Amino acid sequence: GARHELHSYRRHTDVRLVFAPETDIARFGGTTDSFSFPRYALDMALLRVYADGQPFRPVAHFSPKAQGPTVGEAVFITGYPGSTQRELTVAQLTTLRDVILPQRMAYLSELRGLLRQFAAQGEAEERMSRRELLGIENTLKAFRGRHAALSEPGLLEPRLRREEELRARLGRDKALRQTTAGAWDAIAAAQQTWRDIYTEYSLLELLRGYQSDLLSMARHLLRAADQLPRPDAQRLPEYREAALPQLTQRLFSAAPVARELEALTLGWSLGMLRELLGADHPAVRLSLGGADPVERARQLIDSTGLADPGLRRKLWEGGREAIAASKDPLLELVQALEPLALAVRERYEREIQDVVQHNLALIEQARHHLAVGEHYPDARFTLRLSHGRVEGWSEADSTITPFTSWGGAIARASPHDPYRLPTSWLQAEADIALTTPVNFTTSNDIVGGYSGSPILNVDGDLVGLVFDGNLHSLGGAYAYDGRYNRAVAVHPAIMRQALDKVYAAPALVTELFGDAETP
């Protein structure tokens, strides 16, 4: 019908939050259940687009189907997958497995422990650290899943065989042999350099040796003052016009800064900086001198004025002159460190990034020329349509069915995190049929970036919202295995029941689902 008609494209900027459930039901199961199944989470929200102050009513749209999908039904997911690394060489994947992921996991594990201790001090501390701690726990679990996938012979060994077969075929083609034969060796050499400089690059350029939002903002103010006067194409990517709205939103945010937490994480990371680079490294001498990391961090955070968004805006608008005139200690520190950080960044871009990009392009050209394999390019936040079916999976001696129900959520609930149900749901418990579907799995090939994406059936009905994947899907960054990789979605039946029985929002029920009876 009308939903399939095309209409002219229009950019909308007035988007308002209409509904969001309590955290306890949105994240039911917390980090314990993330990247796993069975799941029982209402991880969704509703936004409404406005045009000229009125709700926008598009001609083309997808309508939710409260009954949802059936087992084995074909479904499609539209979304913007963030990034995959399926075209990386074995040398690149082993660097991830042996160096980068272990370092990231060790760093995040220590930071998580620090934040947990801080959060245990009281309600205010728990509130200050909650957002960052949740993000770290989720990321840490994701990295562990990726590392486990790379450690399985079943992922790297077939990749190595395909690489060797392609190189052998390449050797029999004189033209390609001359241009591409050395591509894998060039990438491998670049990976050795990457292994050598990764720690320094991570600590100095990515600021993991300076774990502080305020210090990060000081770095952005410094670099923006240098980059913005340049033509857009000559700027660092993070300061080009397309990136500025997101950057300025962060810099000018009026959200309060938790100085106590800032001092804690900065002191910890300065200690790690000294531990990993050594006391004689120029960055360590510039950052600490002979000071204790904890005391130095406290002095920096207590004396900076950058917690004031008004000052940050003035420094942004004042550009190079304002930055040069400022005596703020965080700005002075990032200015002193800038030559070191830029030097390791420039080396990374010249000896690793540029080399890898050039040689991967040569390999891709050779693969197409020789018609080797069926594949599609790595994800880069561009729109894709993934196809699959509603199905569970089997592993070891277990069979995981694709649907969970409200009865399962009740059975798993407890008075304690992460399985505590909100009061609103406990009060409505008897009004929701125990058989009501809550979450389900599909075999669609998804990675990070698909969260919030619609699941559609062949008729264009919305039959679910993606919010996670199973543990196997984490390996989807490097390869897709249809036997195990699964997307996890919220079922529209529990959405309707929530709006109707829990939150008493009949207008939203009618707007989304019409007048059909509650399933």
The pLDDT, as a whole number, for residue 376 is: 74
Residue 121 DSSP code: T
Whether residue 3 has pLDDT greater than 70: no
Q: What is the pLDDT, as a whole number, of residue 10?
A: 66
What average pLDDT does range 483-494 have in this prediction?
Answer: 97
Predicted confidence (pLDDT) at residue 26 exceeds the cutoff of 50? yes
pLDDT of residue 208 exceeding 80: yes
Residue 139 binned pLDDT confidence (cut-offs 50, 70, 90): very high
Confidence of residue 183 (pLDDT cuts 50, 70, 90): very high
Give every CB contact of residue 419 below 8 A, 6+ residues apart in sequence: 28, 29, 412, 413
The residue that leads in pLDDT, 413 or 375, is 413
pLDDT at residue 379 in the model: 86
The pLDDT of 267-290, averaged and rounded, is: 97
pLDDT given for residue 1 in this prediction = 36
- pLDDT at site 5: 44
pTM recorded for the entire structure = 0.86
Residue 237 near residue 249 (C-beta atoms within 8 A): no
d(CA 363, CA 91): 14
pLDDT of residue 178: 86
Q: Predicted confidence band at 375 (pLDDT cuts at 50, 70, 90)?
A: low
Tell me the mean pLDDT in the region 118-134. 94
Candidates 220, 207, 339; CA nearest to 282 is 339
pLDDT band at 155 (very low <50, low <70, confident <90, very high): confident
Position 152 scores a pLDDT of 86
Does pLDDT of 362 surpass 90?
Answer: yes
Residues 173-191, mean pLDDT to the nearest whole number: 91
Please measure the distance between the N-terminal and C-terminal CA atoms of the chain and give it in whole angstroms.
24
215: closest CA among 115, 103, 223, 280? 223
Q: Is the pLDDT of residue 2 over 80?
A: no
**Using CB atoms within 10 A of its CB, is residue 318 exposed (0-12), middle (13-18) or buried (19+)?**
middle
Dihedral of the CA atoms 79, 81, 86, 87 (nearest 10)?
100
Structure tokens at 506: 């009949």
Looking at residue 58, its pLDDT comes to: 87
Residue 360 CB neighbours (<10 A):
19
C-alpha 483, offset from chain centre: 24
256 pLDDT more than 50: yes
User: The dihedral of CA 295, 299, 300, 302: what is its sign?
Assistant: positive
Rounded CA separation 240/232 (Å): 5
State the DSSP H helix or E strand holding residue 168, giving kind and residue range, or none if neither.
helix 153-171
Token pair of 471 as six digits: 């543990």
Q: Report the pLDDT averaged over residues 18-32.
A: 95
Percent of the chain having pLDDT more than 90? 83
Q: Is the pLDDT of residue 398 over 80?
A: yes
User: What value does the mean pLDDT take over residues 456-480?
Assistant: 95
| Percent share of the chain, pLDDT over 70 | 96
Mean pLDDT, rounded, for 261-276: 98
Calculate mean pLDDT across residues 455-477: 95
310-358 pLDDT, tens per residue?
A: 999 999 999 999 999 999 999 999 999 999 999 999 999 999 999 999 9
For the segment 281-301, what is each residue's pLDDT rounded down to a tens digit?
Answer: 999 999 999 999 999 999 999
- Residue 81 is classified by DSSP as -
pLDDT of residue 60: 85
Query: What digits encode the pLDDT tens for the residues 44-95?
Result: 999 999 999 999 988 888 999 999 999 999 999 999 998 898 889 999 999 9
According to DSSP, residue 349 is labeled I
According to the model, what pLDDT value does residue 515 have? 65
Quickly state the pLDDT bin for 469 (edges 50, 70, 90): very high
Element (H, E) at 48: strand 46-51
At 498 the pLDDT is 97
Closest CA to 68 of 493, 460, 407: 493
Burial class (CB in 10 A: 0-12, 13-18, 19+), 207: middle
Tell me the average pLDDT of the chain: 93
Three-point CA angle 32, 37, 39, nearest 5°: 75
